[in-house]
């Protein structure tokens, strides 16, 4: 995979689980908490670990083909089925299939949902809900997402540090208000859990969108949902994406400096404009979305 490989980004506002594989971005469509998984007595869905389905491997199937059939990454099946050796499956083998990417982890004694959220870079309220809103901490919990799986660790995922990361500049010339955070959250219009792989910032009209760090422009183009999209590659395997912009001032291949103007934020109302911004890191599975707030504190979840 190359940094300039063509890609497209579907509507980020849908109930999507964002993953990255085989290109800059790929979205697997999953209704994370559809009405069918809610019980009549509770506002919480049935725990993910009680919604696993069993798949019997057929002749000719591979781990990759099975994962693709269910809209998952192979790494998820490996994590949920640790007895798979070297990623090889054989006819007759049974696999447990979760409804979306992630894995079950053992909950250490005395830990809280906030402890798990801190460890795995998730939101405590989301972990609580997708695990069935239990009255007491369970011995096992399902953690959604793939970033921490890709890193092969059950410790705190790597995050940026504003003192040494090449991405630390606020992406707008005038600081705005974060109106949609990174990560799992409830979409009020859908009543469903959705994953946003970036942040949406509202600012004053005609605010300049600026590079969050020095780097090389990897892509400038139009997306049917996000409008004009600009992608910049940085050192240390980092990438930033700027969507819902207009009047781009750079071209693919241009070198840019931190704070350099890239475009103008798109008007959303008469008195405001918006920017959709992502930070991603390169991995063996592609460009994986990270929390922009770990690199630019002013964009942290509030």
Q: Tell me which of 21 and 74 has the higher pLDDT.
A: 74
Residue 173: which of 231, 212, 199, 228 has the closest Cα? 212
Mean pLDDT within 86-108: 88
pLDDT more than 70, % of the chain: 75
**With 90 as the cut, is the pLDDT of residue 157 above it?**
no
pLDDT bin (cut points 50, 70, 90) of residue 75 is confident
Highest mean pLDDT among 26-30, 261-265, 285-289: 261-265
Give Cβ neighbours of residue 57 (< 8 Å, ≥ 6 apart).
66, 89, 90, 91, 92, 93, 94, 95
Q: With the CA atoms of 295, 232, 277 and 201 taken in that order, what torsion angle do they form, in degrees rounded to the nearest 10?
A: 90
Pairing of strands 177-180, 238-246: unpaired
29-150 and 161-299 agree in CATH topology: no
Q: How confident is the model at residue 96 (pLDDT cuts 50, 70, 90)?
A: very high
- Domain residue extents for the chain: 29-150, 161-299
Percent of the chain with pLDDT over 90: 38
Predicted local confidence at residue 105, as pLDDT: 87
Mean pLDDT lowest for which of 201-210, 258-267, 287-296?
287-296
Q: Is the pTM of this model over 0.85?
A: no
pLDDT at 243: 94
Instruction: Supply the mean pLDDT for the chain.
Output: 78
The C-alpha atoms of residue 35 and residue 28 are separated, in whole angstroms, by 19
* pLDDT of 171 over the 90 cut: yes
Radius of gyration of the chain (CA): 20
Report, at the CATH architecture level, how domain 29-150 is classified.
Roll (3.10)
pLDDT digits (tens, 9 = 90+) for 229-248: 999 999 988 999 999 999 99
pLDDT interval class at 204 (50, 70, 90): very high
Cα distance between residue 277 and residue 242, in whole Å? 5
> How far is 195 from 299, CA to CA, in rounded Å?
16
Average pLDDT over residues 59-70: 91
**Which pLDDT band holds residue 228 (cuts at 50, 70, 90)?**
very high
Calculate mean pLDDT across residues 106-132: 85
Q: Which CATH architecture has domain 161-299?
A: Distorted Sandwich (2.70)
What is the C-alpha to C-alpha distance for residues 188 and 180, in angstroms, rounded to an integer? 12
Q: Is the pLDDT of residue 93 over 90?
A: yes
Name the pairing type of β-strands 16-19 and 26-29: antiparallel
Q: What is the pLDDT of residue 294?
A: 87
């Amino acid at each position: 995979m190359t940094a300039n490989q063509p890609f497209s980004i579907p509507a980020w506002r849908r109930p999507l689980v964002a993953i990255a594989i085989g290109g800059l971005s790929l979205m697997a469509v999953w209704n994370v908490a559809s009405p069918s998984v809610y019980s009549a007595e509770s506002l919480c869905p049935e725990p993910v670990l009680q919604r696993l389905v069993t798949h019997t491997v057929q002749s000719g199937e591979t781990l990759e083909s099975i994962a693709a059939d269910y809209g998952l990454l192979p790494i998820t099946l490996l994590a949920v089925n640790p007895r798979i050796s070297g990623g090889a499956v054989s006819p007759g083998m049974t696999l447990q299939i979760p409804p979306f990417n992630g894995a079950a982890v053992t909950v250490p004694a005395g830990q809280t949902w906030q402890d798990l959220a801190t460890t795995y870079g998730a939101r405590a309220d989301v972990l609580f809900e997708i695990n069935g809103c239990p009255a007491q901490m369970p011995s096992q919990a399902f953690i959604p997402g793939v970033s921490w799986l890709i890193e092969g660790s059950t410790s705190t995922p790597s995050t940026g540090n504003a003192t040494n990361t090449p991405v630390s500049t606020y992406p707008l010339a005038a600081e705005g208000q974060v109106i949609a955070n990174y990560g799992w959250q409830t979409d009020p219009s859908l009543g469903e859990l959705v994953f946003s792989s970036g942040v949406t910032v509202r600012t004053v009209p005609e605010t300049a969108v600026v590079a969050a760090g020095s780097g090389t422009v990897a892509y400038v183009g139009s997306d049917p949902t996000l409008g004009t999209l600009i992608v910049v590659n940085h050192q240390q395997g980092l990438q930033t994406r700027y969507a819902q912009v207009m009047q781009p001032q750079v071209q693919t291949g241009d070198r840019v400096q931190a704070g350099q103007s890239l475009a103008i934020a798109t008007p959303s109302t008469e008195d405001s404009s918006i920017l959709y911004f992502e930070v991603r890191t390169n991995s063996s599975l592609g460009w994986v979305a990270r929390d922009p707030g770990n690199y630019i504190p002013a964009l942290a979840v509030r």
